[in-house]
Amino acid sequence: MEEVKKSAEVQEQQETPEQALARANEAIVKAAREYQAQPFLKRMFSRQNRVPHDMTKGELGRDILHIAWPSMVELFLQSLAGIVDLMMVGQLGAWAISSVGLANQPKFIMMAVMVALNAGTTALVARFRGAGDRENANRVVRQGLLLTLVFGLGISSIIFIFAEPLVQFMGAAETATLVGGTIYLKYQAAGFICVAFSAGVTAALRGVGQTRVSMVYNMVGNVANVILNYGLIYGNFGLPRMEVAGASLATILGQAIAMVFAFIVLLKGRGGFLKLEPRKGFKPDFQLIKRILHIGIPSMFEQFAMRLGMILFTKTVAVLGTVQFAAHQVCMNLQSLTMMNGQGFGIAATALLGRSMGQGRIDKAHAYTKRCRRFSLYLSLGLSAFFLFLGRYAIMMYNSDPAIITAGLTIMPIMALLQPLQGAQM
């Protein structure tokens, strides 16, 4: 037995770094497959190998919350900015709520592409962070921003050109809804590159666990968005009254402010590990781009499938009438607020999983992902209670029309039922 151990040790010493990495990857893939083969409930609640030998439950929880809570606050504020948008627009009438709701579906397609690309960036940055490889982590950032530029400009140009047919396809029956939705979508497409770059930098920072700084600059952008909303929708502060168009322009300007601060953070290298160095160039590294897309493309198909389903669903609801669709849009807007639960813990799981894999610690990877999923489930139960008992008051913040409130209340129990399922998918 001792001879076998010595032989294995000699073999490991003779391995090249590439061979050692390949062997570690094979072990990780094998362990991941064994873990995924277990039933869902056993994975979530099994006590076997729950806490790594050199960690405590408290340390696991602190590591997760250190990344998750700033991400959740950031996502909450982003959703809250969208909610405040719709609340302010809602004062113009049901047609305005419908205009924004119909235009948002093509906008979400643009976001789906960025979410998929950013998944690859976050995962690879986290992996290199775990391995202590700063040079390659920064190369991933530069290649990720290059992909953001190409995909962002490409898809936003298409959406801008076909804005009116897209809103019409979504089911805009009234002239006011079609005109409002078209101008809203055109503004969103024209300024989408700001949103894409801001999201790209945020994804890279999440990969190294720097979620607090992204929370701060996105908070600044969201506050600017709300202030500009008040000015541009209603014509306050000496600004022109632009109504629905003003809401869209305010959102883009807020994102542009967040983008500027995001690049300042990355250029100055705050956080210590990532630093954007333009002098090293943005020449395409097709091997690295392939690795980013290898992770991102499956996520892109998933996002497209989800968005396609939402488009068909939205188109169906739009046929019911402006008031019914306005009620639907209010409830979906509230639903977007709950996304911060699964997404926040999903971000923590991605960063900590990548770091653990970079360290070759499969046990830590399992422990982090299991605990993230459980935290997400517990929070989702609280959200279910909110929709069941306080749903009426949430709808009334958007519009006091009794018809909208009555229609919205029929949706609330379904939203409550979906929360635990949504949280479990983080």
Average pLDDT, the chain: 81
Average pLDDT (109-132) is 86
* Residue 184 to residues 4, 56, 80, 243, Cα–Cα distance (Å): 69, 50, 19, 10
Please tell me the predicted confidence (pLDDT) of residue 423.
64
Q: Using CA atoms, how far apart are residues 134 and 309, in angstroms rounded to an integer? A: 40
SS3 track for 240-254: CCCCHHHHHHHHHHH
Please tell me the predicted confidence (pLDDT) of residue 186.
96
Please tell me the predicted confidence (pLDDT) of residue 37.
54
Q: Using CA atoms, how far apart are residues 140 and 117, in angstroms rounded to an integer? A: 11
90-124: b (≥16 Cβ within 10 Å) or e? bebbbbbbbbbbbbbbbbbbbbbbbbbbbbbbbbb
Q: Using CA atoms, how far apart are residues 22 and 392, in angstroms rounded to an integer? A: 56
Phi, psi dihedral angles at 274 (to 5 degrees)? -100, 140
Residue indicated by tokens 């639907």:
328
Is the separation of the CB atoms in 317 and 142 below 8 Å? no
Please tell me the predicted confidence (pLDDT) of residue 188.
94
Q: Of residues 120 and 41, which shows the higher confidence score?
A: 120
Q: Using CA atoms, how far apart are residues 230 and 84, in angstroms rounded to an integer? A: 10
217-237: b (≥16 Cβ within 10 Å) or e? bbbbbbebbbebbbbbbbeee
Q: What pLDDT band is residue 426 in, cutting at 50, 70 and 90?
A: low
Domains of the chain by residue range? 61-424
Q: Of residues 66 and 217, which shows the higher confidence score?
A: 217
Q: What pLDDT band is residue 331 in, cutting at 50, 70 and 90?
A: confident
Per-residue model confidence as pLDDT tens digits over 76-105: 777 777 777 788 888 888 888 888 888 888
Q: Using CA atoms, how far apart are residues 378 and 383, in angstroms rounded to an integer? A: 9
Asked if residue 260 has pLDDT above 90, the reply is yes
Q: Using CA atoms, how far apart are residues 361 and 28, in angstroms rounded to an integer? A: 9
Per-residue model confidence as pLDDT tens digits over 369-378: 888 888 888 8
Asked if residue 45 has pLDDT above 70, the reply is no
**Of 26-30, 224-228, 342-346, which range is least confident?**
26-30
Average pLDDT (167-193) is 90
Please tell me the predicted confidence (pLDDT) of residue 8.
45
Residue indicated by tokens 């958007």:
398
CA angle (291, 293, 297) in 5-degree steps: 140
Please tell me the predicted confidence (pLDDT) of residue 281.
86
Q: Using CA atoms, how far apart are residues 380 and 169, in angstroms rounded to an integer? A: 34
Q: Of residues 242 and 108, which shows the higher confidence score?
A: 242
Q: What pLDDT band is residue 16 in, cutting at 50, 70 and 90?
A: low
Q: What pLDDT band is residue 50 in, cutting at 50, 70 and 90?
A: low
Please tell me the predicted confidence (pLDDT) of residue 172.
80
Q: Of residues 208 and 357, which shows the higher confidence score?
A: 208
Q: Using CA atoms, how far apart are residues 286 and 68, in angstroms rounded to an integer? A: 32
Q: Using CA atoms, how far apart are residues 110 and 106, in angstroms rounded to an integer? A: 7
Q: Of residues 376 and 201, which shows the higher confidence score?
A: 201
For 34-83, give the DSSP string.
Answer: HHHTS-HHHHHH--TT-S-TT--HHHHHHHHHHHHHHHHHHHHHHHHHHH
